[in-house]
């Protein structure tokens, strides 16, 4: 039996059972959930940074899943999050021009 404690996707216990194993788990309270989502975001970003170009889109999708879950803990929908992103892109620009700031003169 392994004993690791980390936030996993909702269907993981079901998937473990389908492999003949007996998972142990509990449902986190809201405060623990938000903290574990923050840790999960770090984990997923680390996996993205280590990914090959071939695997990177799947890792980015994992990052996005965690971002959406974090947004939900703030009562923010994916659509609302995208509106905020769009407003910031309109006001400050996006990252499409590949501008690297080197300071001021």
Task: Identify the CATH number of the domain in which residue 33 sits.
Answer: 1.10.287
Domain contains 31: yes
Domain contains 19: yes
Domain contains 68: yes
Query: If you average pLDDT over every residue of the chain, what do you get?
Result: 96
Lowest mean pLDDT among 1-5, 40-44, 72-76: 1-5
**pLDDT of the residue at 4:** 78
| 2 confidence band (pLDDT: 50, 70, 90) | low
Domain contains 99: no
Domain contains 100: no
Q: What is the pTM of this model?
A: 0.88
Domain contains 60: yes
- Number of domains making up the chain: 1
Percentage, residues of the chain above pLDDT 90: 96
Structural domain containing residue 81: 12-92
Domain contains 58: yes
| Cβ proximity of 95 and 102 under 8 Å | no
In sequence order, the 6+-apart residues with CB closer than 8 A to the CB of 93 are 99
pLDDT digits (tens, 9 = 90+) for 26-49: 999 999 999 999 999 999 999 999
């Amino acid at each position: 039996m392994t004993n690791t404690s980390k936030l996993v996707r909702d269907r993981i216990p079901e998937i473990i059972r389908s492999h003949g194993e007996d998972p142990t788990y509990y449902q986190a309270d809201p405060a623990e959930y938000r903290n574990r989502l923050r840790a999960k975001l770090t984990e997923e970003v680390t996996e993205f940074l280590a990914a090959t170009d071939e695997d990177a889109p799947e890792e980015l999708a994992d990052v996005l899943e965690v971002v959406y879950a974090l947004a939900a803990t703030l009562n923010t929908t994916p659509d609302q999050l995208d509106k905020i992103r769009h407003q910031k892109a309109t006001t400050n620009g996006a990252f499409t021009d590949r501008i690297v700031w080197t300071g001021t003169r």
